[in-house]
Structure 1
Amino acid sequence: MQRLAQVFLCLVLAAPKLFDFCSCRGLWFWDRGVRRVKLLILALGFVSSLSSRQPMWAFGELALLLACFHISLCIGHARQCGSSRLDFFFIRAVIFLCVVKTAQFLGAGASAFVSNAHMLDTDLLMEGFSNIRFYGQFQTFTLPLLALPLLCRTQTRSFKICIFALVCCWWMIAICSGTRGTWLGMIGATCLMAFSSGQGRRWAGWQGLAALIGLTSFWLLFRVLPDYLGLKVFNFAGDRLSTSLSARDVIWHQAWEMIKERPLLGFGPMHFADIPNPVAAHPHQAILQWACEWGIPSTLLVMWLVSKGLWATFRLIRANHRSTEPVDLLRVCLFASLIGALTQSMVDGVIVMPYSQLWLAIVVGWLIGIHDFSTEPPAVRPIAQKGWVAILTLAVVYLGYIVFRDAPNLDQREQVYIQEHGGRFQPRFWMQGVIGQPGGRLLEQTNAANFSPLATPK
């Protein structure tokens, strides 16, 4: 369902006349060097897809990334050509979502405590996501954004108290989920922001205090109180405090073998899922995933682009370190959200899951929309504008074709997979994302017998 909603949003935003891109600076703000690097990445992805074993799926992944990039541009366009009032609605929407999920968690927890049950499964308190790791990815994006009202001096004291209580509860839920990737992402974001600027240190201070209160609340509610009531707690977060890789070593090894096999163009987008293994259809590591599927040259180019964008934003935060303007405070929170997500992507599938892809596009697009460009970008030829519209149209039409082809038979396909292979699903494009057949040569090199089929990376 999340993938269907994502593709539908891409289809809606793909209409060029809906947003007048050709007249908006937001689409063409990059200098010629960056544009050429982007075109080179696209060309390498196209060639890699053509040379892959299943070009149809490879082009599907390429089209999906183009559509997500377009969503970012739409959001950046809307913010640049709109006003700061959009920031207000954006943050209020984030607060609303977090309030709804917090109320659901607290309601489920209260029901569990007042019932006559003698056990409490913490995973059952966090509904709305098919996997608890996806919940954690959502929290990694939203935890930094919730702190914005706490930084604004214009907010009332009562509103700040309510927001701080929400941030503490959101931290408690993040701790309760036991998703170590979320913990790692927030630690990385907090450490970097503490050295970024005065406002960054304020942000880090609020997050640290909220995390401490959230941890204390978690310990009281899910350790002290259950012991007092005689409840047995299952999936307790403290049991996940380990240094184990949760079978990530197997999929990382597979990705590394794929990189050594085809270092230049990789096996093709999405083609980690073409070599089945009992763990996952993606490596749970963004750099390894891109390198084994797109090749090392493409990976280096993408890393250069990401580093350039992060450095430009970091410098802008440093330059405005004393500013209390709402847009500068929002930039701090968005930057922390992006840093947290990128850190988590080193151990998790942030760049794979549809909901996380959408949030990543939103955060990047909003940072583009509020960025203060020092120089006017060079003019873009009309043929380049028309070329982008043509590429985007092909991408979204192809995504629509995949949905039209697969959506009616998804349930049947998932049942067939369970009957043939058993176990749990391995998400990639769809909930069951394995596109290859067992028995590949590289799969034998992963020594799959060294792990339990029930292991789940967290």
Structure 2
Amino acid sequence: MAGGIVAIGARKPIRGTATPFFIALLLLGITSSAASSLPSWSLLEVTYTLLLALVATYGVSSALIGLSLRPERLILLTTVTPIILACLSAAIAIYASLLSNFPLRFPEPIGNYGNVRFFNQYQTWLLPFLSPAFVMPWPIPKVRQTIWRAFLFIIAVFFWALYWRSGGRGTGYATLLASLFVVLMHGRAGMRHALLMAAFAAVGYLVFIAMFPHGGGSHTHHLLSTSPNGRLYLWHIALDYIRLHPLLGIGPMQFAAIDTGLASHPHNAVLQWAAEWGLPAAVLFVSGIGYLYFKWTGIARRLVTRDDSAIPPASVVAITASLIAGGIHAMVSGVIDMPASQFMLVTVAGLAGGIALSAAPVAKANRNPGRLDCVTNIAMRAMVLFASLYVGLFTAYDYWHRQHSPKPTTAVYLRNTYQPRYWLDGTLTGMTQRPLPPRVSRRPN
């Protein structure tokens, strides 16, 4: 069962042939940071993004061999645990409301997120894993399967009820399209996944109606709306800055220094990379992610049709659906920006990378490392050391500076100070306000 995963320890997620790609992206990010209006903040995003990528590849994918759990149990625990924790938090809010006799107001019981859409981004990565969790055995053998499935069914419908309460269009449409994609790609296994998702969603909607008979209708109508809700305005700003700064962009994270009056990112990952890092870096981002998607789909097809795979087909289908849903949602939202969503992005991508490594031919796994691989390992260690030191020192200095310097009193800082963009984007608009592009004359009503 674990034979495929055991080989991961001998395999490196980033081989020597990928080194030029990472070096080019890093150099573009550093160069763009140096040319930005806030170089230290831009470099923070470059190093932080680098650490996220390396955590997914080395920290999650390669570390699977160091755990004694079988791969299917690891996938189950790393994806179901965040769902259970989110449901537990919401259940506590509901219980507190009943005890205090105060009715829940939207977005409760999920108001512990700075914005309800951050919760939706978190759900985008996790909803597809309800299906394999329901059909797979519980990692603890002493628990009866019927008890586990009953518990999972309650969690699944409650998690979907929270989605209906939030009324997030991006998550719903991304999950629907991802479910259709796995049906076309994986056939019968994909159909089982889609039917379970539909059943959970339908029962979850009934639970939502029962829980919020008078307080949810005004929010669920948002699901059927076709209004872009300011996205066209943000995309217009991003496109204008791409036109003005095509090569290096305005600097990583610097969209958060624009007083758009609406958001600290353009609600589109590709436009964000192009506007902030420049078109060459955006091409590298998109081509690299596209290549990984292509490689994963080929591996996933083989694993789903094989009878001797160590990874259950339901988990492979769920990872595919999660990756597709996350990619779709990133085109209309800040999936790549918000900490909770970044955590799940790294987790799901790392699981996919670990499975892909375990499925690689054994001959390649056992080959002796070449000189280029040794150079890659040294380069990666150096990158991790530099990035970790910079992020740590920057955080310590920024904390000290916040404690000993007066806070900006501008209206935009006070309005945005609790809207996360890695760190607080209100700080950037308080330090320096990049003007709107010349062709953008007004904000949306």
Q: TM-score, normalised by structure 1?
A: 0.82
Structure 1 residue 53, shift from structure 2 partner: 2.3
The answer to whether the 8 Å contact 1:151/1:203 transfers is no
Other-structure match for 1:363 = 348
Other-structure match for 2:113 = 129
Matches of 2:432 and 2:14 in 1, distance apart?
A: 46
Which of 389, 393, 406 is 2:398 aligned to? 406
Other-structure match for 1:342 = 327
**1:56-95 maps to which residues of 2 (within 5 A)?**
56-72=40-56, 73-80=58-65, 82=67, 84-85=69-70, 87-95=72-80
Name the SS of the counterpart of 1:416 in structure 2.
Answer: coil
Other-structure match for 1:221 = 211
Q: Structure 1 residues 75 and 172 mapped into 2: Cα distance closer, same or farther (>3 Å)?
A: same
Matches of 2:274 and 2:412 in 1, distance apart?
A: 30
Other-structure match for 2:3 = none
Matches of 1:42 and 1:158 in 2, distance apart?
A: 49
Measured on the aligned residues, the alpha-carbon RMSD in Å equals 2.9
Q: Which amino acid aligns with 1:35?
A: T
Name the SS of the counterpart of 2:178 in structure 1.
Answer: helix
Which of 370, 376, 389 is 2:364 aligned to? 376
Which of 262, 269, 281 is 1:286 aligned to? 269
Matches of 1:257 and 1:102 in 2, distance apart?
A: 42
The answer to whether the 8 Å contact 1:186/1:340 transfers is yes
Which of 267, 271, 274 is 2:257 aligned to? 274
Q: Which moved more, 1:101-110 or 1:398-407?
A: 101-110
The answer to whether the 8 Å contact 1:121/1:233 transfers is no
Which of 192, 210, 214 is 1:202 aligned to? 192
Q: State, as a whole percentage, how many aligned pairs show the same letter.
A: 25
Q: Which moved more, 1:279-288 or 1:321-330?
A: 321-330
Q: Which amino acid aligns with 2:119?
A: Y
Q: Which moved more, 1:121-130 or 1:404-413?
A: 404-413
Q: Structure 1 residues 76 and 251 mapped into 2: Cα distance closer, same or farther (>3 Å)?
A: same
Structure 1 residue 304, shift from structure 2 partner: 1.4
The answer to whether the 8 Å contact 1:141/1:337 transfers is yes
Matches of 2:218 and 2:416 in 1, distance apart?
A: 18
Structure 1 residue 414, shift from structure 2 partner: 9.9
**1:33-182 maps to which residues of 2 (within 5 A)?**
34-72=18-56, 73-80=58-65, 82=67, 84-85=69-70, 87-109=72-94, 112=97, 120-152=104-136, 156-182=145-171
Which of 418, 424, 428 is 2:421 aligned to? 428
| Cα deviation code 1:86-132 (max 9, x no counterpart) | 54245235433322332332443355468655x54131211432221
The answer to whether the 8 Å contact 1:277/1:443 transfers is no
The answer to whether the 8 Å contact 1:280/1:427 transfers is no
The answer to whether the 8 Å contact 1:37/1:301 transfers is yes
Other-structure match for 1:321 = 304
Matches of 1:42 and 1:404 in 2, distance apart?
A: 23
Structure 1 residue 162, shift from structure 2 partner: 2.5
The answer to whether the 8 Å contact 1:185/1:340 transfers is yes
Query: Do residues 184 (structure 1) and 166 (structure 2) align?
Result: no
Name the SS of the counterpart of 1:27 in structure 2.
Answer: coil
Q: Structure 1 residues 370 and 188 mapped into 2: Cα distance closer, same or farther (>3 Å)?
A: same
Other-structure match for 2:289 = 306
Which of 265, 275, 293 is 2:248 aligned to? 265
Give ranges in structure 1 of 5+ residues lacking alignment.
Answer: 1-22, 227-231, 452-458
Name the SS of the counterpart of 1:264 in structure 2.
Answer: coil
Give ranges in structure 2 of 5+ residues lacking alignment.
Answer: 1-7, 139-143
Other-structure match for 2:384 = 392
Structure 1 residue 51, shift from structure 2 partner: 2.2
| Cα deviation code 1:38-72 (max 9, x no counterpart) | 32222222222222222211111110011111211
Other-structure match for 1:454 = none
Q: TM-score, normalised by structure 2?
A: 0.84
Q: Which amino acid aligns with 2:53?
A: F
Q: Which moved more, 1:56-65 or 1:272-281?
A: 272-281
Name the SS of the counterpart of 1:269 in structure 2.
Answer: coil
Name the SS of the counterpart of 1:195 in structure 2.
Answer: helix
Q: Which moved more, 1:71-80 or 1:417-426?
A: 417-426
Q: Which moved more, 1:83-92 or 1:390-399?
A: 83-92
| Cα deviation code 1:365-396 (max 9, x no counterpart) | 11111111246277234333222211221111
